[in-house]
Amino acid sequence: MKGRIDTLRLTAEAAAGLLERGELSAAELHAAYAEAIAKRDGELHCYLRTTPYTGGAGVPIALKDVIGTEGVETTAGSRILSGYVPVYDSTVAARCKGAGLPLLGKTNTDEFAMGSSTENSAYGPSHNPWDPERVPGGSGGGSAAAVSAGLAPWALGSDTGGSIKQPAALCGIVGLRPTYGTVSRYGIVAFASSLDQVGPTTRTVRDCARLYGVIAGRDPRDSTTVDVPGVELPTAEDLRGIKVGVPRELNEAEGIEPGVKEQVAKAIALCEELGADVEECRLPLSVEYGLPCYYLIAPAEASSNLARYDGVRYGFRAQADGDLTAVYETTRDAGFGDEPKRRIMIGTYALAAGYYEAFYGKAQQVRTVIVREHAALFERYDVLVSPTSPTVAFRFGEKTENPVAMYLSDLLTIPSCMAGLPGLSIPSGLSEGLPVGLQLIGPQLSENTLFRVGHALEQALGFDFVPERLR
């Protein structure tokens, strides 16, 4: 193929086609993205670092900087890991390598994946390609913005309470949070162990399915993983035989912008047109208690997972007079930003003697309730739908005054995360010129159903994933 590749519109599937037909080499494709990044990432700051082409015959990929990559600096968006170069590949990075996917670079993230906007990154925020004065979402805003702006054909992110789905929604692209346990966490900088999952951030549902197939499946190095059914690339463009549940509490929660509600309502109507049975249903406690439950369990696990950052074996170590304790305390206070500190404090408190039962213990019980409520619905429905995010992309600084304001961005994604359920976000329309995401939630191991429903809707919606201002 002569002439330049315009990465702006390229899907991974289309790129794979180009490679297969020999229209260009993998090295050339990588170079095209490198060039696009050089030209346009200055404005968006999706990438923390880019990497040269070192081999691989497949479609290049960007990885969120919580995904460990051997020989390539991995910071998790934090100062405390500045300069840390892993001596081993995470399993997902190794699987991408094994599939011949060259690495484009590591994308920006809220520090330790804690946040909903990338404003918590120690290296500066990323910007939404639809409107650079607004956030791309978080924590995986870098990956979402890169894919949205054509600076990567696809990417991997990580999702704990919505960190793949919410940025996908705010950037107008596709994001999958897989069933807990289907993608290995080995080599992923841990935030909350019982919630973290790595997943695809892509332009189309088919790309998402394809990438999921590359990374999913049991890993003997991660005891919490399971085997997965084979991935089926979706083709059907109807929804006949699909029963769709519309949980009232998710769809009418406080704080959902009218524009978002409108777009989602249209998408739900479309489901019916495509042949699905659509019905309202209830999640009586999951939405109301999901956020508090998450913001106890996740910080508790995080407070423990972040204890290893002590300046002894890797990462930043502060100069401190005095003994070891002084080094620990100074290193950690200087190395961690405000949000990790907040969560470490909350988490430590929730686990502390005298408080365990009232906080962490209680939260684990609430989690059981959430699991049961969802399971009951899935006896009747194949998929539940709702908005992914209560709002479209917000402006920088809009939600940073009050930590809980930011936490509310995850209100709709969190409940299904607590139950380990998969969720797919697809763009369903625009509100005030900004993308609105539709969330599809399924029972455990129902990814193929989510792909099917997502693809059919995607085709029917015809949403153009290239940001208007870039076309």
Q: Which of residues 44-63 bind another protein (CB under 8 A)?
A: none
Q: Least distance from C-beta 348 to another protein, angstroms?
A: 5
CB of 212 to another protein, least distance (A): 18
Residues 6+ apart with CB under 8 A from 399: 116, 117, 405, 406, 409
- Backbone phi and psi for residue 136, each to the nearest 5 degrees, phi listed first: -90, 0
Binding test (CB under 8 A) with another protein, winner from 180, 394, 451, 465: 180
Q: Tell which positions 436-465 bind another protein, by CB under 8 A.
A: 444
Binding-site size for another protein (CB under 8 A) equals 97
Least Å distance between CB 133 and another protein?
A: 26
64, 106, 165, 399: the catalytic one is 64
The residue among 357, 413, 350, 381 whose CA lies nearest residue 280 is 381
Q: Name the minimum Å distance from CB 349 to another protein.
A: 5
Cβ nearer to another protein, comparing 21 with 402: 402
- Could you say whether residue 72 binds another protein (CB under 8 A)? no
Task: Pick the binder of another protein from 293, 383, 393, 441 (CB under 8 A).
Answer: 293
Whether 425 and 169 have beta carbons less than 8 Å apart is answered as: yes
253-272 residues in contact with another protein (CB under 8 A) are none
Which H or E element spans position 352? none
Of 12 and 419, nearer to another protein (C-beta) is 419
- For the bound state, the minimum distance from the C-beta of residue 291 to another protein, rounded and expressed in Å, comes to 7
Q: Give yes or no for residue 133 binding another protein (CB under 8 A).
A: no
Contact 23, 53 (CB under 8 A): no
Query: Which window, 119-127, 253-261, 288-296, 461-469, contacts another protein (CB under 8 A)?
Result: 288-296
- Binding test (CB under 8 A) with another protein, winner from 236, 317, 460, 468: 317
Q: How many C-beta atoms surround the C-beta of residue 401 within 10 A?
A: 9
Per CB under 8 A, contacts with another protein among 188-207 are 188-190, 192-194
Choose, by CB under 8 A, the member of 49, 265, 292, 468 that binds another protein. Answer: 292
Task: Report, in this order, helix, strand and coil percent for the chain, each rounded to 5.
Answer: 40, 15, 45
The single residue among 328, 378, 381, 465 that binds another protein, judged by CB under 8 A, is 328
Is 64 an active-site residue? yes
If one asks whether residue 282 binds another protein (CB under 8 A), the answer comes out as: no
Q: Are 305 and 190 in contact (CB under 8 A)?
A: yes
DSSP character string of 290-345:
HHHHHHHHHHHHHHHHGGG-SSSSSS-----SSSHHHHHHHHHHHHS-HHHHHHHH
Binders of another protein in range 341-360 (CB under 8 A): 341-342, 344-346, 348-353, 356, 358-360
Q: Which of residues 80-109 bind another protein (CB under 8 A)?
A: 81, 83-88, 90
Q: Judged by CB under 8 A, which stretch of 98-106, 127-135, 208-216, 367-375 contacts another protein?
A: 367-375
Q: Which of 121, 163, 184, 431 is catalytic?
A: 163
Closest CA to 305 of 355, 354, 344: 344
Amino acid at 388: T
Residue closer to another protein by CB (options 256, 366) is 366
Q: Based on the shown chain and the rule CB under 8 A, indicate whether residue 229 belongs to the binding site for another protein.
A: no
The sign of the CA dihedral 16, 147, 169, 131 is: negative
Identify the burial level of 314 via C-beta atoms within 10 angstroms of its C-beta, where 0-12 means exposed, 13-18 middle and 19 or more buried.
Answer: middle
Among candidate residues 379, 345, 341, 413, the one with its CA nearest the CA of residue 168:
413
Q: Is 427 in the site for another protein (CB under 8 A)?
A: no
Does 401 engage in binding with another protein (CB under 8 A)?
no
Q: Which of 90, 126, 139, 158 is catalytic?
A: 139
Strand-pair partners of 176: 424
Helix (H) or strand (E) holding 459: helix 447-461
Q: Whole-angstrom Cα distance, residue 462 to residue 457?
A: 8
Which range, of 255-263, 361-369, 377-385, 446-454, touches another protein by CB under 8 A? 361-369
Binds another protein by CB under 8 A, chosen from 9, 221, 240, 395: 221
311 binds another protein (CB under 8 A): yes
DSSP state of 12: H
The reply to whether 139 belongs to the active site is: yes
Residues 129, 140, 141, 181: which binds another protein (CB under 8 A)? 181
Cβ(243)–Cβ(380) below 8 Å: yes
Using the rule CB under 8 A, which residue among 257, 310, 382, 447 binds another protein? 310
Quick one: which of 461, 468, 471, 458 has its CA closest to 174? 458
Q: Which two tokens stand for residue 470?
A: 């870039």
Query: Quick one: how far is CA 469 from the chain centroid?
Result: 24
Residue 149: CB minimum distance to another protein, A: 28
User: Which of 368, 376, 380, 469 lies at the binding interface for another protein (CB under 8 A)?
Assistant: 368
The yes or no reply on residue 224 touching another protein (CB under 8 A) is yes
The residues carrying an active-site annotation are 64, 139, 163
